[in-house]
């Protein structure tokens, strides 16, 4: 995708995305061990042009399973004209999670890696 493409903006990637991420929380994280997340995230743009995230996730963290109904998420995102960006999501009752993003496949998919200390987590968001 060419940099500066209309897809490489907050509005260019809005919509509903399936989300999956897997990895490990290492010593120092609130929970340690393998983790996996799945869910649906809705990306929208508010009147100020800011990216807003809402949705639900399910997670398995070191053998403890959290369901969709118990895990609504909120957050924000920003996509630059170079097709790179960031997202912050906060599952209800849990700490913020920060991700670095790359928009691919004409905006139909984003690759993500968590940037928080003590985590090795990567995943995708797909339309």
Task: Please name the residue that has the structure tokens 């897997």.
Answer: 22
Model confidence, pTM: 0.88
Structure tokens at 73: 């998420």
pLDDT-above-70 percentage for the chain: 92
Beta bridge partners of 125: 19, 110
> What is the pLDDT, as a whole number, of residue 69?
65
Domain ranges in the chain?
11-126
* Domain at 11-126: CATH architecture: Beta Barrel (2.40)
Question: Who contacts 123 (Cβ-Cβ below 8 Å, separation ≥6)?
Answer: 19, 20, 21, 22, 37, 111, 112, 113
Query: Which one is predicted more confidently, 91 or 126?
Result: 126
Question: Who contacts 47 (Cβ-Cβ below 8 Å, separation ≥6)?
Answer: none
The answer to whether residues 126 and 18 touch, using CB atoms and an 8 Å cutoff, is yes
Checking if the pLDDT of 52 tops 70, the result is yes
């Amino acid at each position: 995708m060419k940099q500066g493409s209309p897809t490489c903006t907050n509005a260019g990637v809005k919509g509903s995305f399936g989300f999956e991420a897997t990895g490990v929380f290492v010593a120092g994280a609130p929970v340690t061990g393998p983790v996996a997340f799945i869910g649906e995230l809705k990306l929208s743009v508010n009147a100020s042009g800011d990216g807003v995230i809402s949705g639900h996730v399910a997670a398995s963290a070191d053998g403890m399973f959290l369901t969709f109904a118990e895990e609504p998420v909120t957050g924000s995102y920003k996509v630059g004209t170079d097709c790179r960006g960031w997202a912050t999501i906060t599952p209800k009752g849990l700490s913020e999670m920060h991700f670095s993003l790359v928009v691919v496949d004409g905006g139909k998919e984003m690759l993500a890696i968590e940037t928080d200390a003590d985590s090795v987590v990567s995943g995708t968001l797909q339309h």
